[in-house]
Amino acid sequence: MSEIFSLAEKFKIQSEKQAEIIEQEVENATTQLNSFMTAKLQESEAIIKQGMESLDTSNEQLLTTLAKHQTDMSTDLDTYMSNVQAHTVKHLNLFAKDLEKTIEAYTQHIAEMIEQREDRIAKVIKSEMRKWLIAASLGALAMLLLGLILGASLVNKYSKPIYINQQIQPQPQMQQPSINYGQR
């Protein structure tokens, strides 16, 4: 049994040494891993800082570029709007002149048409007045003739000749002295 104890004791000692060695190796590995990780983290941190600085620079450049872009766009938009406004005003002025000419021509055309219609109406009225004048004149003449005939017939029918009963006495005749032209 003592051999078992001594084997167990040896085994225990060896196990403890083995555990110490393993523990030492684990600790070394952990230290190396820790050093490695720390170095990598520092490297990553440096890269991140560099990236952030680069990003800040990029952001500043981007903001500068965007501001310039916005200014350029605003200038271009103002120029475009000025051009559009100038062209619009020009075209509206031309349109107004054309519209004015069109209205003037239309007004002249309407005036001519009104004048032509007035002339036609005047001709129709003159024509109708001639007809009416002729008809009225004939009617008046017919009425006058009818009145004369009627008047004459009424006068003949209802008037009786008035005879004046005066005896006509012969008036003494005076003798005119006879003039003898040969005696003188």
For the full predicted model, state whether its pTM sits above 0.95: no
pLDDT one-digit tens code per residue, 97-127: 888 888 888 888 888 989 999 899 888 888 8
pLDDT for 12 beyond 80: no
Q: What is the mean pLDDT of the chain?
A: 78
CA distances from 161 to 24, 68, 92, 158, 181 (A): 189, 133, 99, 10, 48
Concatenated DSSP letters for 69-95? HHHHHHHHHHHHHHHHHHHHHHHHHHH
Average pLDDT over residues 55-78: 81
The pLDDT-based confidence of 37 (bands split at 50, 70, 90) is confident
Q: Is the dihedral of CA 38, 43, 44, 49 positive or negative?
A: positive
| Cα separation, 134 vs 45, whole angstroms | 126
Dump pLDDT digits (tens) for 153-169.
Answer: 888 877 766 666 655 55
Q: Is the pLDDT of residue 178 over 80?
A: no
pLDDT-based confidence at residue 177 (cuts at 50, 70, 90)? low
Q: Does position 179 have pLDDT exceeding 70, yes or no?
A: no
Whether 180 has a pLDDT exceeding 70, the answer reads no
